[in-house]
Chain A
Amino acid sequence: MDKSWNNRAWFLVLPVLLLVAFSAVIPLMTVVNYSVQDTFGNNEFFWAGLEWFEETITSERIHAALGRQVLFTAIILAIEVPLGIFVALNMPKKGFWASLCLILMAMPLLIPFNVVGTIWQIFGRVDIGLLGRTLTAMGIDYNYTSDWLDAWVTVIVMDVWHWTSLVALLCYAGLQSIPEAYYQAAKIDQASRWAVFRYIELPKMRGVLLIAVLLRFMDSFMIYTEPFVVTGGGPGNSTTFLSIDLVKMAIGQFDLGPAAAFSIIYFLVILLVSWVFYTVMTNLDREDRP
């Protein structure tokens, strides 16, 4: 659509601008302010320059948290995206069963994050949980509160449980937009099931997949509540992801300076990765066009 040039449109954007300025810009400035100062209490602050940033960048604790975070995000993306596509391909196309699947699949998405944590905390416990009890009965030594691998598996399965439906529903929406004639033509052309997926379904899902991967990347990189409720970041520090570490630092230990520097770097990393990802994907898209 051709849009006309009209600077008065700013008036329409103004409410959003003021609101976001209040809820984003002011707090962000506070963070920047803290990140370059030091305090010994009593509300007295001293200029600290880039000291906190240097500390953050060289901190082994944060490196470790970042490492865990990247590993976690990589694993859940590697599971949720293919699984989501697979589920979407198997969903009924229309009718009662399609509605039922949609409703049931949307359920986990509307559960408060801490309740998601609670559900899996209860479900996985070896004394009262179905999963924990079953695994123990099968002779598997499973205990997410003491074994780091069990804790990781639990947190990952929980995230897959929580968010795969989002990917699946997005892909489903993409699949719904494919006209029936494409499938008919593929039959006429004697295309294999794989060819139908590779040349018809995947290209049509590309747009929604971009949204899905971006959302899942951002949200998993910011994850806090669910693992916090289940494992509290433990055992040890094994499930302490970036947000958990940050909250520990800012609210638990009240290390405002380092926490603020950490926040800024954290935010920038997400922005940078999202931007790079977005640009790469849209450029790939554009190269296709003559």
Chain B
Amino acid sequence: MKRPGSALVMVLYLLFLLIPIYWLVNMSLKTNAEITRSFTLWPHDLTFQNYRTILTDPAWYMGYVNSLIYVVMNTAISITVALPAAYAFSRYRFLGDKHLFFWLLTNRMAPPAVFALPFFQLYSSVGLFDTHIAVALAHCLFNVPLAVWILEGFMRGVPKEIDETAYIDGYSFPRFFVKIFMPLIASGIGVAAFFCFMFSWVELLLSRTLTSVNAKPIAATMTRTVSASGLDWGVLAAAGVLTLIPGGLVIWFVRNYIAKGFALGRV
């Protein structure tokens, strides 16, 4: 419908994005022999052996389970604590509110590398090392501020009269919040959850530092395999492809909110 130039730009850009991913998928469907001995643009000797290796070996697939457990825990925790806080920031002025808000945001600016070692010591000393909850709590460092920020933006868009009407109608605060307010900002909650999921899912440094065996995330499993066996490219690529799936599913479910979510309700 627009100039053909636009279509060309988009095609080129999307190719740029997709070709490296294609190459990963391509590798995951080849045997190691094909990968190292010949150079092929698509798998001539199609195999699913790499995927079979991952899906039958607990050392591999437990990595996915662990990652998903702490990601879901983190998303749940972040949203639960962020909701009331965002409500407070969007509706009331109180002692030190601006400073508190800014301080929360500064946590989003903290390099994980700075926190890696102190986290390790903190969680070791309270006996949480190598548990899912440890990683989930550590990721709250950057996800809670983000969730508060996004939710506050959405809540500001809901007129205050709705709160007042509900109170006049005799709703208690918790009942009002759950029954009336939360459905109103459902898309905001979805967007915030999406971002929490995303940032927790992609993070490696903290999750690797805080786990050794029982809660080891897939990302860490992959890096260790590389350093140990070094050259099993097919399995490594298959593991990489499998990490794309949760992200892909999440994008599919929130596709209609993506643009809005990226604007963080603040444009």
- Which of A123-131, A141-149, A194-202 is found at the contact surface with chain B? A123-131
Which of A24, A101, A161, A225 is within 8 Å of B110, CB to CB?
Answer: A24
Give the distance in Å from the alpha carbon of A99 to the alpha carbon of B252 in the complex. Answer: 10
Q: Chain A's nearest CB lies how many Å from the CB of B109? A: 5
What residues on B are CB-neighbors of A256 within 8 Å?
A: 117
Q: Chain B's nearest CB lies how many Å from the CB of A273? A: 9
Q: Within 8 Å of chain A (Cβ to Cβ): is B87?
A: yes
Question: Interface size (B, Cβ < 8 Å)?
Answer: 98
Q: Chain A's nearest CB lies how many Å from the CB of B156? A: 6
Q: Contacts A13-B100, A177-B263, A242-B111 known; A92 to B10 CB distance under 8 Å?
A: yes
In the complex, are the beta carbons of B259 and A172 less than 8 A apart? yes
What residues on B are CB-neighbors of A104 within 8 Å?
A: 14, 17-18
What residues on B are CB-neighbors of A118 within 8 Å?
A: 24, 222, 226, 236-237, 240
Which of B36, B244, B259 is within 8 Å of A128, CB to CB?
Answer: B36
Q: Contacts A90-B9, A91-B10 known; A119 to B23 CB distance under 8 Å?
A: yes
What residues on B are CB-neighbors of A8 within 8 Å?
A: 94
Which of A19, A90, A101, A129 is within 8 Å of B77, CB to CB?
Answer: A19
Q: Contacts A27-B122, A169-B258, A225-B205 known; A161 to B117 CB distance under 8 Å?
A: no
Q: Chain B's nearest CB lies how many Å from the CB of A134? A: 10
Q: Contacts A112-B202, A119-B20, A211-B264 known; A20 to B118 CB distance under 8 Å?
A: no
Q: Contacts A13-B100, A16-B85, A170-B262 known; A110 to B148 CB distance under 8 Å?
A: no
In the complex, are the beta carbons of B112 and A222 less than 8 A apart? yes
Which of A106, A109, A174 is within 8 Å of B267, CB to CB?
Answer: A174
Q: Within 8 Å of chain B (Cβ to Cβ): is A107?
A: yes
What residues on B are CB-neighbors of A111 within 8 Å?
A: 202, 243-244, 247
A interface, over-half SS: helix
Candidate in A6, A27, A129 with the most chain B CB atoms within 10 angstroms: A27
In the complex, are the beta carbons of A114 and B223 less than 8 A apart? yes
Which of A103, A108, A246, A251 is within 8 Å of B252, CB to CB?
Answer: A103
Point out residues on B near A: beta carbons under 8 Å.
Answer: 1-2, 5-6, 9-10, 13-14, 16-21, 23-24, 27, 35-36, 39, 41, 77, 80-82, 84-85, 87-89, 91-95, 97, 100, 104, 106-119, 121-122, 137-138, 140-141, 144-145, 148, 156, 159-160, 198, 201-205, 209, 218-219, 222-223, 226, 233, 236-237, 240, 243-244, 246-248, 250-252, 255-256, 258-260, 262-264, 266-267
Considering the complex of A and B, which 6 residue pairs feature the smallest CB-CB distances, nearest first?
A110-B247, A27-B118, A173-B263, A12-B88, A243-B113, A9-B92
Could you write out 8 A-B pairs with CB less than 8 Å apart? A5-B93, A23-B119, A24-B110, A101-B14, A118-B24, A176-B259, A242-B113, A246-B114
